Structure 1
Amino acid sequence: MQPTTSTQEPALAQPVPIRRLLSLDALRGFDMFWIMGGEEVFHVLAKTTGWAWAIFLADQFTHVTWNGFRPYDCIFPLFLFLAGVSTPYSLGSRLAKGDNRAMLARKVITRGLILVVLGIIYNNGLFMKPFAEMRFGSVLARIGLAGMFAQLIYLYVRSERARYGIFIGILLLYWAMLMLIPVPGFGAGNLTMEGSLVGYVDRLFMPGRLYKVVHDPEGLLSTLPAICTGLLGVFAGTVLRRHNLTDTRKIQQLILAGVSCVALGWVWNSVFPVNKNLWTSSFVLVAGGWSLLILSLFYWIIDVKNWRRWTFFFVVIGMNSILIYLAGRVIDFEYAAHFLFAGLLHFFSEPVQTVGSVVAFLAVKWGFLYFLYKKKTFLRV
């Protein structure tokens, strides 16, 4: 893993497809914008103004406590979904050129393991804590492992029908495991944080500490359904890459799939609750369905209607999405924003200063990414 500098037109980030979809760059940046702190704008507006619409939006940009779904719960799975979307472009193009599957598989596995290691460093620092105090589960590990297995399925399962079968099979298997396998002291079918099979497996097999003591939202067992989130992206990318479909037909298929997934997910919710912490099968469908619908919208606006000027802000973020996620741990952007803008904000009222501080923080982060973009320097994993 290292920054790469090229004199050519920047390619799509993490992983790099052969043919660029600007909508994919922009949507990845749009998604990453909220991860890097964009949601704080609504939170500070809600606190400083008390406006009803700001309070409503701030609430939507929080995670549900356990069961349920809010838009903010879609941010993480959308990123994993987009990694899947790029797979038919990156791996599919190389397979079409005759590249060796085993060689591609090694690259996929290497990338997945690098993300796991980066996640450990992100949680614990470069000079590790005592083993028992380290947290091994992470957002990057979830993306690395689930994305890796989804890509390996794409590489070695050549039939689309078989891939769909694996997708359905994993979702049903996970449901059956959580509902039928008893947990000591809680029995079978307990979906609480303490009593679920997911938490029990984490406590048994996850080294180090768990994020929520008895459960880790990026633990071992819940990686299984997360593979299906990546596979949904693979299915979407396969549709977008087809040359025998018109753009209109592609969008129709994505919308139909998205609406169907959301509907099925909420139907399934009646017996298997939508739950991000457990990454339940119903959650995979609801979050994946919304991801399909958002992708279809971005694809229609950007790649079909060719309305592109507004995308630049998000493309700059999307080109270095992993880097800005990691950089927050080692660069004090908040201090930089205070150093650059505190004097200016001092002339305004306290509410404006509070909101302005968040905007300044985001501006400094974006400026950092813009500098790298202009230098054509991108972190590749």
Structure 2
Amino acid sequence: MKKERLISLDVFRGFTIILMTIVNNPGSWAHIYPPLEHAEWNGCTPTDLVFPFFIFIMGTAIPFAMPDKHFDSSIFNKIVVRSIRIFCLGLFLNYFGKIHFLGLEGIPLLTIRILITTIVGIALLGNFNQKIKTYLAFGVLGILLFLAYSSIESFQEVRIPGVLQRIGIVYFFTSLLFLKTSPKIQIGIAVLLLLIYWFLMTCISVPGFGAANFEKGTNLAAWLDNSILNGHLWSASKTWDPEGILSTIPAIATGIIGMLIGQLLNIQATKIEITKKLIVLGISLIALGLIWSLVFPINKSLWSSSYVLYTAGLAISILMILYYLIEIANYKKWTKLFLIWGVNPMIVFFLSGILPRVWGMIEIQNPEIASEKININEYFYTYVITPQFLNPLNASLAYALLYVLFWTIILYIFYKQKLIFKV
């Protein structure tokens, strides 16, 4: 039997997804406030906290979803299938813009893409029995990977890694560790993963580049990505991926830390005692991360070991503040907005990435240049939002906030109808 939902955790998840939506959907990528941009390389901005926070939250939720730690073949199957479904959602996001059919263009092609998206969404987010979920998960994964590695031109350079893909992988390993090991062993594994990754990145020479380093494109993680996934990496870099193979190792440690916190939240102790202990732990991890960063810089793209400790410490501290306000002080009136977002994360992850691409494919007449067309995104930002603001940074942020409002209305309807989309 599942434990009752922890409201503070749902609120934390909702806050994280709202921040994700804001940073992923500015009106103009040329006008963004610095805190809403990723660090150029080393360092950490609020934007760099979104992804590790979500993995931490996912780990924290595991003990609440599987409190009896029962493990058998059916449980293993559910974990495998859920991991594949999450992976496929992310993989399809990378495919969406590559879909072509019979040479169609414009609205007809967009219609085909929306139709395929609907089918994939139903297959991966639909409420089917476990047997059907298994068939659909493996079927969609097989089709997507076949297309990626086939000779079909439009799919030859589709990115295979991604945010949801990494979440699916981390969920798989973290869930199995929770069910099959004790907290002491989990701590040991998390520490070992961080140390192994640090050793690999600092002590192993990089073929073709020389000594170990932390620079873009020449570090060991980048070399491994390019060697195994050449042609299927992040389009902005081509030769390495921020959600690549080697850097997934420390990301698993982020999930394990979250899972350990979920278990600590269920120990036999008063809520105030739990809060005090975890606040101390959070501050300690922040300090350890900062100390480690002196030799292994805090870096999201590398998912450095110092980044794991630093972001996990911040996540614990924020969760404990929310835990105190909501679970202890019973101050809940302000939480509704975040709950609406927090209970339906996957539908937002999936469709909030699809919709801007759909709008970007719908073109209308440019009001200023008769011979040109402009897509709906550009039109709305340029002719509706921008004239209302003198500062282009504010206009860009306003566009993102309106997109958040758009999704809030949709998620509120789902919330009132008790519609929760799970993988």
Q: Under TM normalisation by the shorter chain, which class is it?
A: 0.7 to 0.9
Q: Per-residue deviation at 1:113? A: 1.4
Check 1:270–1:138 CA distance in 2 against 1; reply closer, same or farther (3 A cut). Answer: same
- Counterparts in 2 of 1:38 and 1:221: CA distance versus 1, 3 Å: closer
Cα distance in 2, alignment partners of residues 349 and 173 from structure 1: 50
Which residue of 2 is the match for residue 50 of structure 1? none
Q: Does 1:182 align with 2:205?
A: yes
The reply to whether residue 69 of structure 1 matches residue 38 of structure 2 is no
User: What is the Cα deviation at residue 354 of structure 1?
Assistant: 6.4
Q: 66, 72, 80: which one pairs with 1:101?
A: 72
Q: Supply the AA of the counterpart residue of 1:270.
A: L
The letter of the residue matching 1:81 is: F
Indicate the residue corresponding to 1:267 in structure 2.
291
Shift of 1:223: 0.6
Asked if structure 1 preserves the Cα contact closer than 8 Å seen for 2:292 and 2:306, the reply is: yes
Number of aligned positions between the proteins: 346
Residue 18 of structure 1 aligns to which amino acid in structure 2? K
Distance of 1:317 and 1:137 partners within structure 2 = 25
Q: Which residue of 2 aligns with 1:3?
A: none
TM-superposed CA distance for 1:17, in Å, is: 5.0
2:89 counterpart residue number = 118
Residue identity opposite 1:23 in structure 2? S
- Call closer, same or farther: CA 1:68–1:107 in 2, change over 3 Å: same
User: Do residues 142 (structure 1) and 166 (structure 2) align?
Assistant: yes
Is 1:282 the counterpart of 2:324? The answer is: no
State the distance in 1 between where 2:256 and 2:76 align.
16
Question: Does structure 2 retain, via aligned residues, the 8 Å contact 1:178–1:198?
Answer: yes
Shift of 1:62: 1.4
- The amino acid of 2:13's aligned partner reads R
Question: What is the distance in 1 between the residues matched to 2:202 and 2:160?
Answer: 26
1:217 aligns with 2:238: no
Could you say what the CA RMSD is over the residues aligned between the two structures, in angstroms?
Answer: 2.8
Q: 1:75 to 1:358 in 2, by over 3 A?
A: closer
1:200 offset after TM fit, Å?
Answer: 0.7
Counterpart of 1:177, as a letter, is L
Aligned counterparts of 2:71 and 2:38: Cα–Cα separation in 1: 42
TM superposition shift of 1:59: 1.5
- Do the aligned residues in 2 keep the contact of 1:265 with 1:283 (CA within 8 Å)? yes
Structure 2 counterparts to residues 228-239 of structure 1, below 5 A: 228-239=253-264
The change in CA–CA distance for 1:220 and 1:17 in structure 2 (over 3 A counts) is farther
Looking at structure 2, the residues matched to 354 and 176 of structure 1 have their Cα atoms a distance apart, in angstroms, of 42
- Match of residue 52 from structure 1: none
Distance 1:329 1:69, change over 3 A: closer
Report if aligned partners of 1:131, 1:208 keep a CA contact under 8 Å in 2. no
Equivalent residue, structure 1, for 2:367: none
1:115 to partner: Cα distance: 1.2
Q: Is the 8 A contact 1:193 1:214 kept in 2?
A: no
Matches for 1:134-213 after TM superposition, within 5 Å? 134-157=158-181, 159-206=182-229, 208-211=231-234, 212-213=237-238
Shift in alpha-carbon separation, 1:309–1:65, aligned structure 2, 3 A:
same
CA deviation digits over 1:44-95, x for unaligned, max 9?
Answer: 9x96xxxxxxx9xx222211111111222111100000000011111224x3
Q: What is the letter of the counterpart of residue 272 of structure 2? A: T
SS at match of 2:238: coil
Distance 2:390 2:290 in 1: 43
Structure 1 residue matching 2:420: 3-state secondary structure: strand
- Structure 1 residues 350 and 17, CA gap change in structure 2 (3 angstroms): farther
Aligned 1:70-85 pairs, distance under 5 A: 70-85=45-60
Residues 1:87 and 2:62 aligned together? yes
SS in 1 for 2:67: helix
The change in CA–CA distance for 1:349 and 1:143 in structure 2 (over 3 A counts) is closer
Q: Give yes or no for contact 2:25–2:403 (8 Å, CA) kept in 1.
A: no
Where 2:421 maps in the other structure, the secondary structure is strand
Runs of at least 5 residues in structure 1 that lack an aligned partner in the other structure: 1-15, 48-54
Change (3 A) 1:40 1:130: closer
Partners of 2:2 and 2:41 lie apart in 1 by 36
SS in structure 2 of the partner of residue 377 of structure 1:
coil
Residues in 1 aligned to 2:176 and 2:202: alpha-carbon distance in whole angstroms: 28
> 1:316 touches 1:373 (CA, 8 Å); kept in 2?
yes
Note closer, same or farther for the CA distance 1:355–1:376 as it changes in structure 2 (3 Å cut): same
Q: Distance in 1 between matches of 2:185 and 2:17?
A: 32
SS at match of 1:241: coil
Tell me the TM-score normalised to structure 2 length. Answer: 0.75
Displacement of 1:117: 1.1
Secondary structure at 1:134 match in 2: coil
Report the CA distance between 1:130 and its aligned residue: 3.5
Displacement, 1:317? 0.7
